[in-house]
Amino acid sequence: MTTRGCTECGRAFAPRREHARFCTPGCRVAWNRDHLTDATAEERALEWSLTGMRDVIERLAVHQPADAEAAFEAVGEAVWWATIIDARLIRQYMDVYDAILAAHPQAQHPEIEGTLTGLRFVRNQLSEDWPQAAFIEPPARGGDGPTITAAWRWAHLPEPGLAAMPTHVQPWEMTRYQAYQDWLAGNTVGRVFQRAADFLNLAGGRATAGAPAGFR
């Protein structure tokens, strides 16, 4: 199993999630206290990010793209917001993140985590030579009117090439790709982002309510 060094104490540990940086909750709290001194500013930044994500995702329901590139430009912005919030919650509010996940029925856990992992696959590919518009495809035309971006579907994609990646990164990338295939491919853009936003809004709302968990 791949291990990494804890950002606080340096001890090697096996991360359960891609963005995990600390071996224990105590190390996470200690690091946050030493480095994230303005707890209120951190809360406000997270609140601002959640608002931005909601606005971008809501626009997908009314956005009428001229072509695939325009559709993916709108989708790519939503991917960026969702994944940056997910990463921040995992790094700074892991206890809240896990508590919100645990509050959902166990059967929903793979769908929630798989959706967010699949979106990370899309985000990571944005900097590669992958044709970005290939990630989504328009729905079957049911009439002559314009189609909203939320109605486009995530495409099924071939496995990414991993040979150029460091060996320790390859398992993470394959996990992200498989999550994309399982939880995004074939689903509408709107449905996937609604799943992600429902969870991130709950976790983010809890993290910014009262004392910030990442600083306790």
What is the DSSP annotation of 162-194?
A: -TTS-TTTHHHHHHHHHHHHHHTTTSBHHHHHH
What's the pLDDT at 80? 94
Q: What is the mean pLDDT of residues 131-137?
A: 80
Question: Which DSSP letter does residue 89 get?
Answer: H
Mean pLDDT of 137-159: 83
Report pTM.
0.79
Question: What 8-state DSSP symbol labels residue 24?
Answer: S
Q: Report how far residue 132's alpha carbon sits from residue 191's, in angstroms, rounded to the nearest whole number.
A: 20
d(CA 135, CA 41): 35
**What pLDDT shows up at residue 139?**
87
In the chain, % of residues over pLDDT 70: 73
The overall average pLDDT reported for the chain is 83
Instruction: Name every residue whose Cβ is closer than 8 Å to that of residue 71 and which is 6 or more positions away in sequence.
Output: 63, 65, 133, 136, 138, 149, 152
* pLDDT tens string 193-216: 999 999 999 999 998 885 444 433
Query: Higher-confidence residue: 91 or 80?
Result: 80
Average pLDDT of span 2-30: 68
Instruction: State percent of the chain over pLDDT 90.
Output: 49
Taking only the tens place, the pLDDT of each residue in 102-125 is 999 999 999 999 999 999 999 988
Asked whether 123 and 149 are in contact (CB, 8 A), the reply is no
What is the Cα–Cα distance from 172 to 178, expressed in whole angstroms?
10
pLDDT at 1 over 60: no
Residue boundaries of the structural domains of the chain: 38-215
95 has a pLDDT exceeding 90? no
DSSP 8-state symbol, 129: T
pLDDT of residue 160: 80
